[in-house]
Amino acid sequence: MKYLLFMLSRKRILTLLLLITITISCSDEEADLPTTVVTDSETDDPDVDNETASITLDFTRVYGGSEDDTFHDVTATNDGGFIALGYSQSIDGDITDNTNQVNMYWLVKTDSEGAIQWSKTYGGTDDDRGEEVIQTSDGGYAMIGYSRSSDGDVSTNEGFQDHWVVKLDAQGEIQWEKSYGFPGSDQAFSIIQTSDGGYFTSGFLDVTASGGDGNDFTVSDDNETRAVLHGVGEFWGHKLDANGTKEWRRYFGGTNNDRAYATLQADDGGILMIGASESNDFDISNSKGSYDFWIVRIDASGNLVWERSFGGSEIDIAYAATKTPDGNYVIAGDTRSNDGDVTEFNGNADVWVIKINDQGTLLWEKTLGGTSFDSARAVVATTNGIAITGSSRSNDIDVTTNGGQNDIWIALLDDNGDLQDQRAIGGDGIDFGLGIASNNQGEIIIAGETQSNTGELTSNNGSLDGVLIKIN
């Protein structure tokens, strides 16, 4: 026995010990759980300072197969669980129904502790990417993203990428699906169920490729002129009925790059589309610089009520928005500006959060982060204020730790936008927080992607995995 141990390398000994530990610790009840299950009480990595972390991890779970898999959104469901949407290239691991090694919408339903209840993919034989999922009033789900397919689950494609919206029942079976687009790159990022039982979807339109088409309204400017001058995107929204049939569509923007990433419904039934604009003409009346946070407010019939630009002279991009209990709106993204509406700047890029009222008046703005690159990609109103997730490369000022590259960063703000708590979660790879939700119990769930296998993210199924993190 001594001779055998002597002949084994140290690496092989550690591997055997690890296998023994895993075998002993796994029970039959845990067999269906994802590979990684980490809580603060179980984390013994010396680089993870749990004693100073004010945000407590309930769990961190990693999902996926041997190829690239990601979650871009998560929603708390009525049964106390969660549903996460992204896209997957894998045909193994947690992906059990995909035979084509191309991106497909990937939807995972979990219980309250993140154990998979079902996992399904949707799409065709080309590149299809899911961006946002909501639970609908009938207990089913609606999801949005963009598709290049015209086969499988996708009935039509007008060329390159189209907005693709899919309505599901509670078990994830398709009830209907619709594609909207023209020959160019038309991508959708957000969907809401409207108060009339229908839906509103938003993203952007390549109006050059559409030749000016895509607007069901008469506008004061010449659509053909806009198509000739235009760059690569206009805010593009679709009002759908309960069966996904288009009621009207409308685009807004200028001659440069304008992209909508989020959508909210106002109390009066109107709609806000939120994103970023590089333009300073046509629908954009008060450009602040290179790219601005740009908010378009329309009424329930699609008529423009107002539009507002916020930012400074550099690049400012809004990725997410949430409605607050007082009827106002919090919008989050990142900024590289140190002037204009941005009153503080820490360095490189900061998380930038603004609050506006329903008239588009700026109520407050806050920059968060450190001296490296920090960005917010999702925001939600909670019982105690506002929760934000995104990514951080910093380890100073507002960010106390960094695992190695981009970490998933979580920030909790009060109603005035003041930072209350924060925590970076990540390892030696690139990790992003891309979706966030809060349930009636005040629990917060974060969805994203990870390339790490250290820190709190101690396993990796492939080059990129989806991750869910629950905090309290």
Looking only at the bridges linking them, the beta strands covering 316-323 and 128-135 are: unpaired
Domain count, the chain: 1
Specify whether the CB–CB gap between 365 and 341 falls below 8 A.
yes
* Three-state secondary structure string covering 12-72: HHHHHHHHHHHHHHCCHHHCCCCCEEECHHHCCCCCCCCCCCCCCEEEEEEECCCCEEEEE
Digit-coded pLDDT (tens) for 383-431: 899 999 999 999 999 999 999 899 999 999 999 999 999 999 999 999 9
* Three-state secondary structure string covering the chain: CHHHHHHCCHHHHHHHHHHHHHHHHCCHHHCCCCCEEECHHHCCCCCCCCCCCCCCEEEEEEECCCCEEEEEEEEECCCCCEEEEEEECCCCCCCCCCCCCCCEEEEEEECCCCCEEEEEEECCCCCEEEEEEEECCCCCEEEEEEECCCCCCCCCCCCCEEEEEEEECCCCCEEEEEEECCCCECEEEEEEECCCCCEEEEEEECHHHHCCCCCCCCCCCCHHHHHHHCCCEEEEEEEECCCCCEEEEEEECCCCEEEEEEEEECCCCCEEEEEEECCCCCCCCCCCCCEEEEEEEECCCCCEEEEEEECCCCEEEEEEEEECCCCCEEEEEEECCCCCCCCCCCCCEEEEEEEECCCCCEEEEEEECCCCEEEEEEEEEECCEEEEEEEECCCCCCCCCCCCCCEEEEEEECCCCCEEEEEEECCCCCEEEEEEEECCCCCEEEEEEECCCCCCCCCCCCCEEEEEEEEC
How far apart CA 61 and CA 469 sit, in angstroms, is 6
Is residue 363's pLDDT more than 90? yes
Which is more confident, 78 or 212? 78
CATH of the domain at 99: 2.120.10.30
How far apart CA 386 and CA 411 sit, in angstroms, is 8
How far apart CA 20 and CA 399 sit, in angstroms, is 37
* Nearest alpha carbon to residue 55 among 455, 472, 431: 472
How far apart CA 331 and CA 413 sit, in angstroms, is 13
Instruction: State residue 7's pLDDT score.
Output: 34
User: What is the band of 30 on the pLDDT scale with cuts at 50, 70, 90?
Assistant: very low
Which two tokens mark 62? 């990693």
- Is there a domain that residue 5 lies in? no
Beta-carbon neighbour count of residue 12 at 10 Å?
Answer: 11
CA atoms in the 13 A half-sphere facing the CB of 424: 30
- Sheet containing strand 374-382, edge to edge, reads 374-382, 385-392, 407-413, 419-425
User: What is the band of 462 on the pLDDT scale with cuts at 50, 70, 90?
Assistant: confident
Range of the domain at 60: 38-471
Instruction: State residue 219's pLDDT score.
Output: 53
- Is there a domain that residue 151 lies in? yes
Digit-coded pLDDT (tens) for 313-323: 999 999 999 99
Instruction: State residue 12's pLDDT score.
Output: 34
Is residue 53's pLDDT more than 90? no
Instruction: State residue 301's pLDDT score.
Output: 95
- Is there a domain that residue 8 lies in? no
Q: What percentage of the chain carries pLDDT values higher than 90?
A: 79
How far apart CA 302 and CA 310 sit, in angstroms, is 22
- Is there a domain that residue 300 lies in? yes
Instruction: State residue 227's pLDDT score.
Output: 57
- 115-141: average pLDDT: 98
- Is there a domain that residue 44 lies in? yes
Specify whether the CB–CB gap between 121 and 70 falls below 8 A.
no
Instruction: State residue 38's pLDDT score.
Output: 55
How far apart CA 426 and CA 453 sit, in angstroms, is 9
Indicate the range of 15-24, 25-34, 49-58, 185-194 predicted with least confidence. Answer: 15-24
Instruction: State residue 16's pLDDT score.
Output: 31
Instruction: State residue 307's pLDDT score.
Output: 98
CA atoms in the 13 A half-sphere facing the CB of 340: 22
- Is there a domain that residue 351 lies in? yes
Specify whether the CB–CB gap between 60 and 37 falls below 8 A.
yes
Which is more confident, 353 or 31? 353
Indicate the range of 30-39, 136-145, 208-217, 273-282 predicted with least confidence. Answer: 30-39
Instruction: State residue 17's pLDDT score.
Output: 33
Is residue 49's pLDDT more than 70? no
How far apart CA 216 and CA 101 sit, in angstroms, is 38
User: What is the phi/psi pair of residue 209, to 5°?
Assistant: -70, -30
Instruction: State residue 460's pLDDT score.
Output: 83
User: Whole-number mean pLDDT of the chain?
Assistant: 88
Which is more confident, 28 or 334? 334
Instruction: State residue 20's pLDDT score.
Output: 31
Digit-coded pLDDT (tens) for 158-205: 999 999 999 999 999 999 999 999 999 999 999 999 999 999 999 999
Instruction: State residue 122's pLDDT score.
Output: 98
User: What is the band of 39 on the pLDDT scale with cuts at 50, 70, 90?
Assistant: low
Is residue 295's pLDDT more than 60? yes
How far apart CA 190 and CA 263 sit, in angstroms, is 6
Which two tokens mark 103? 């991106």
Instruction: State residue 34's pLDDT score.
Output: 43
Q: What percentage of the chain carries pLDDT values higher than 70?
A: 86
User: What is the band of 470 on the pLDDT scale with cuts at 50, 70, 90?
Assistant: very high
Specify whether the CB–CB gap between 260 and 331 falls below 8 A.
no
- Is there a domain that residue 1 lies in? no
Instruction: State residue 459's pLDDT score.
Output: 78
How far apart CA 472 and CA 466 sit, in angstroms, is 21
Which is more confident, 315 or 457? 315
- 327-348: average pLDDT: 97
Q: Give me the sign of the Cα torsion angle 359, 362, 368, 374.
A: positive
Is residue 213's pLDDT more than 60? yes
How far apart CA 94 and CA 35 sit, in angstroms, is 10
- Is there a domain that residue 32 lies in? no
Is residue 28's pLDDT more than 80? no
- 454-463: average pLDDT: 84
